Amino acid sequence: MSTTTKIFLTGATGYIGGSILTRLLAHPDRPSFELTALVRNPDAAKKLAALGVKTISGSYDDLALLTDAAAQADVVFTMVCVTVWDQLPPAQAILAGLKQRFEQTSKPPILIHTSGAGIVMDITAHGHSGAQDTYSDLDAETLASRPGKALPMAVESALVRADEEGYVRSYLITPGTIFGLAKGPLVDLGVQHKHSLQLPLFFRTFIKRGRAATIGPGLNVWPAVSYNDNADLYLRLFDAARSSSSSVGHGREGFYFAESCEYSALEIAQASGRVLHKLGVAEVREPDEFSEEQVQASFGAFWEILSSTSRARGERARAQLGWSPKEGKAELLASVEREIEELLKDSKL
Ligand SMILES: NC(=O)c1ccc[n+]([C@@H]2O[C@H](COP(=O)([O-])OP(=O)(O)OC[C@H]3O[C@@H](n4cnc5c(N)ncnc54)[C@H](OP(=O)(O)O)[C@@H]3O)[C@@H](O)[C@H]2O)c1
């Protein structure tokens, strides 16, 4: 019997995906891993090949390719997209491949999918409120009947159904805002995205307008987790899922919120204002409110997500995986300065 674990990754050049691939490359079991990444950029593919990572050139548009790659895999990490409507076909293509794998091996493969805390957000907060029930990932029943104000969960629902059918074990990691600059060999090689998504979008806008700001009063609240703590959760889940399928929740019981603290948009804007003022980018330290035109021009269709409230407690990973995040609110606020300094070096912004 083969002792090789075949691992297929999507989004491996991303901020999250790069952190996971870096850790898999340094994993004590690395000699038994066959790592394959779906990659869009030929230069990144060449650099990954030099590190011993097989690459498949393609994207989420190549559904047959996704099915074939998943059909070869014991473990799939998907780190391309959170619950967005057009991601259902690629998710279904990957599930079709995993079903083939199960039919070949009689062993359900593992799927570790990246979702996001948007699944429990109140998209109608519009910066005016941080008040919302806090969702625990141990409460599968309440999670299944989330409020009608959150993003749809088409992909997550498909993964849970597939788990219930028994041909795959699905795990859904749902991070809050991930903070901190990515570091490591894949960043040094120019393969991995260095910045996270949510907060740097604000930082870039603040730099361009020369002052920090909020959408509405910025009272909306989100959970957050550091780059390292988030990667730690993925790896703990990967190790636990491989060694003991029964003690680790999957499917309907397989949501894992990654969070270590909460922040409001106003707190981030205030911290940014202090940094921008200190660095001579802003004359005024205190944030103001974006005008409606600025909100549309800067954030387009994403403005409602960026001004939403999401409150989530990651109790499952703490209870079942021994996950104990080390960085919290103080590190989140301290990361603002490093992020802004780094973005100021980038002429393209
Ligand atoms: N960062 C956060 O705070 C956070 C929190 C919760 C959830 N999430 C979710 O997690 C996912 C990954 O986040 P991230 O921060 O790692 O984003 P990212 O840095 O933008 O990485 C996205 C990855 O997906 C790849 N990709 C994008 N479109 C693709 C397509 N059509 N086909 C194949 N690959 C594609 C990118 O490849 P290229 O290198 O070729 O562009 C990259 O590897 C996102 O959907 C995000 O919503 C992120």
Prediction pTM value: 0.97
Q: Is the CB of 193 under 6 A from ligand 1?
A: yes
> Above 60 in pLDDT, residue 83?
no
**Rounded Cα distance, 315 and 136, in Å:** 6
Average pLDDT over residues 8-35: 98
Q: Which domains does the chain have, with CATH numbers?
A: 5-195+223-261+311-328 (3.40.50.720)
pLDDT, one tens digit per residue, over 145-154 is 876 667 778 8
pLDDT, one tens digit per residue, over 190-247 is 999 999 999 999 999 999 999 999 999 999 999 999 999 999 999 999 999 999 767 8
Q: Is the CB of 15 under 6 A from ligand 1?
A: yes
Which residue's CA lies nearest to atom 21 of ligand 1?
A: 14
Q: Which pLDDT score, from 0 to 100, does residue 348 have?
A: 65
Which residue's CA lies nearest to atom 39 of ligand 1?
A: 13
User: Whats the size of the chain, residue-wise?
Assistant: 349
Q: Is the CB of 272 under 6 A from ligand 1?
A: no
Q: Which pLDDT score, from 0 to 100, does residue 149 have?
A: 67
What is the distance, to the nearest Å, from the Cα of residue 82 to the centroid of all Cα atoms in its chain? 7
Q: Is the CB of 270 under 6 A from ligand 1?
A: no
Average pLDDT over residues 171-195: 97
